[in-house]
Amino acid sequence: MSLRYVCVEVRHNLRCANVFLQFDHSLTETEFLKIVVENDALTFREYSTATRVALGKFFTAEARTISNLTVEECNASFRLTITNEPAQGTADNKENQIDNKRKIYITPKPNIEEGSQHIVLCKNCKCELSTTLQCRRVREFPSGSIDVNEFFCHHGPKFDEVLVPQLTDFFYGFQFVVLNSELSQQQVKMKDKHVYCRRCLQYLGENILNDNAMKLWMDTLLLKCQPNDKDDTIINVVNEKVTPTCQLLHKIIDDTLVTDVAGEPLLQQMHFCKVLLEATFPCRKRKYLLLQVLEKQLQVLRNTKPLAHGSHNNNNVLQVQLEQCKSFKLLYRLLDETEDEGGGDDKRGEKDSGETSSTSSTSSDSMLLKNWKEDMSIHVLKVSPTLFGTLLDELDENALLLPELYRYTHDHFQLSYIFYED
């Protein structure tokens, strides 16, 4: 069977399920394909084989309710009307109640204790990036999403001095650490406020607070523990219980959540928010990812691995069991620094009509990015280039589950998912 991926969006409150299918070749080349909707399964039949996707333990599909059928190249999609099982509806309500009370620790504390001794290492080449750090204070660093000077109406403290860590301080934030620059002056290389490993030239982070401190990305670092009279042990800066991309989306939701005086979220069913992600790459160029989170707890059924050819039983029927997970559903768009600067005007007279159109598109992209930066309601978050690239790759891959008709918007945003365990 040519079916490779199945993704089912389940909305019990609307009594519907959207089914997205991805095949390994264009459906225009398929001579025969029949979709059969049963109460507890979907069956896809070809001439000699069939694939049966079990759905009974998640919901009951109503027969003859298939609608909005779309077929496009390697993708197909349609909508089903479903019947909620009483137990399922009760479980969903309990999940929502638990989720409303659950507080995800967005910025996990690093694997470092006050009073311990550590040396910071480059994760790429294991080169020592600091002298021995006597950790007397381990503190969370301000996120930077809000200017702390705004808390004072007149003559507030000079935060460029107050926030500088001492030689015995280990400050941390979301996916970054902040250390005193004197700890690593001989072990790193500086270029235009960017910090690189002196041995392998891996990009580590940037200088901040008038070059008195360094903000280093956690995904570029390791820690060497130095216990007394024992062998050195190398550990990660933090223990990741969830994937970094999922943790990033949870942070976005947490940062944009509006709560009442009791700390309970307002407008619980409204998950829409906008976020501008910024990353600086080793070449000192910046890229931006414009995100619009549409849903944050969308129930999804899917297969995590491609359906294998030749795995049919004696009746030539491939039995498929889907896994249940939650997902963020969002729109995204990638913009480069050149678009931010609106480059290309100097050569406008030399361009033909096609290139002029490209310049016009670049100008509109530059204006879009400018508007997002100036919008006070849009959260701006700086992330490491590694996390930026990982998130973009995951979005690009998951976007392929959707037909192009649903994948792109008129303003060139792309629709995709970030999946996470329930």
Taking CA atoms, 142 is separated from 93, 110, 182, 306, 421, in Å, by 36, 15, 21, 43, 29
Please give the Cα distance from 376 to 382 (Å, whole number).
16
Both tokens of 153, joined, read 């109406």
Q: pLDDT tens, 394-407?
A: 999 999 888 888 89
Site of tokens 């507890």: 40
pLDDT tier for residue 231 given thresholds of 50, 70 and 90? low
Least confident of 49-53, 236-240, 333-337: 236-240
pLDDT in tens, 263-305: 555 445 445 789 999 999 998 899 999 999 999 889 999 988 8
CA angle, residues 381, 384, 389, in degrees to nearest 5:
100
Of 9 and 156, more confident: 9
Distances, alpha carbon 243 to alpha carbons 71, 343, 394, in Å: 33, 36, 11
Hey, which of 147-161, 194-208, 266-280 has the most confident mean pLDDT? 194-208
Q: In what order do the strands lie in the sheet with 203-208?
A: 137-140, 169-173, 176-180, 213-217, 203-208, 194-197, 188-191
Q: What does the pLDDT read at residue 286?
A: 94
State residue 233 phi and psi, 5-degree precision.
Answer: -120, 130
pLDDT range class, residue 251, cuts 50, 70, 90: confident
Structure tokens at 155: 């003559």
pLDDT tens column, 65-113: 899 999 988 899 999 999 876 455 444 544 444 444 444 456 778 888 8
DSSP string, 55-122: -TTT-EEPTT--EEEEEETTEEEEEEEEE--HHHHHHHHHHHHHHHH----SSPPPS--TT-EEEEEE
Q: Identify which of 115, 160, 155, 156 has the alpha carbon closest to the alpha carbon of residue 133.
A: 115
Compute the distance between CA of residue 342 and CA of residue 361 in angstroms, rounded to an integer. 10
Lowest pLDDT segment from 256-265, 328-337, 373-382: 256-265
Please report, as a single letter, which amino acid is at residue 140: E
pLDDT at position 356 over 70: no
Mean pLDDT of 21-40: 87
Q: What is the predicted pLDDT for the residue at 347?
A: 40
Residues of the chain with CATH 2.170.150: 117-235
> Does position 345 have pLDDT exceeding 70, yes or no?
no
Residues of the chain with CATH 2.60.40: 3-101
Phi/psi for 97 (5° steps) reads -65, -45
Residues contacting residue 3 through CB under 8 Å, at least 6 positions apart: 21, 22, 23, 24, 44, 51, 307
Q: Which of 116, 120, 111, 119 is nearest to 221 (CA)?
A: 120
Would you state the pLDDT for residue 359? 66
Distance CA 104, CA 190 (A): 36
CATH architecture of the domain 117-235 equals Beta Complex (2.170)
- What is the per-residue pLDDT for 259? 55
Cα end-to-end span (Å), the chain: 30
- Model confidence at 160: pLDDT above 50: yes
Give the separation between CA 251 and CA 307, rounded to whole angstroms: 33
- Amino acid sitting at position 344: G
Average pLDDT over residues 207-219: 93
Q: 318 pLDDT band (50/70/90 cuts)?
A: confident
**DSSP of 165-204, one letter per residue?**
PPTTEEEEETTEEEEEGGGSTTTEEEETTEEEETTT--EE
Output 272 or 121, whichever has higher pLDDT: 121
**What local confidence, expressed as pLDDT, does residue 343 receive?**
43
pLDDT confidence tier of residue 151, bands split at 50, 70 and 90: low
Of all residues in the chain, the percent with pLDDT exceeding 90 is 45
Q: What distance in Å separates the CA atoms of residue 238 and residue 60, rounded to the nearest whole number? A: 43
| Architecture of the structural domain at 3-101 | Sandwich (2.60)
Distance CA 170, CA 195 (A): 18
Q: Given the structure tokens 């030749």, which residue do they identify?
A: 310
pLDDT at residue 101, rounded to an integer = 40
pLDDT in tens, 32-46: 889 999 999 999 988
CB-based contacts of 46, cutoff 8 Å, min separation 6: 1, 2, 30, 32, 33, 34
In terms of C-beta density within 10 A (0-12 exposed, 13-18 middle, 19 or more buried), how is residue 151 classed? Answer: exposed
pLDDT above 50 for 351: no
What was the pLDDT predicted at 149?
Answer: 56
Residue 152 has pLDDT above 90, yes or no: no
Looking at every residue in the chain, the average pLDDT score rounds to 82
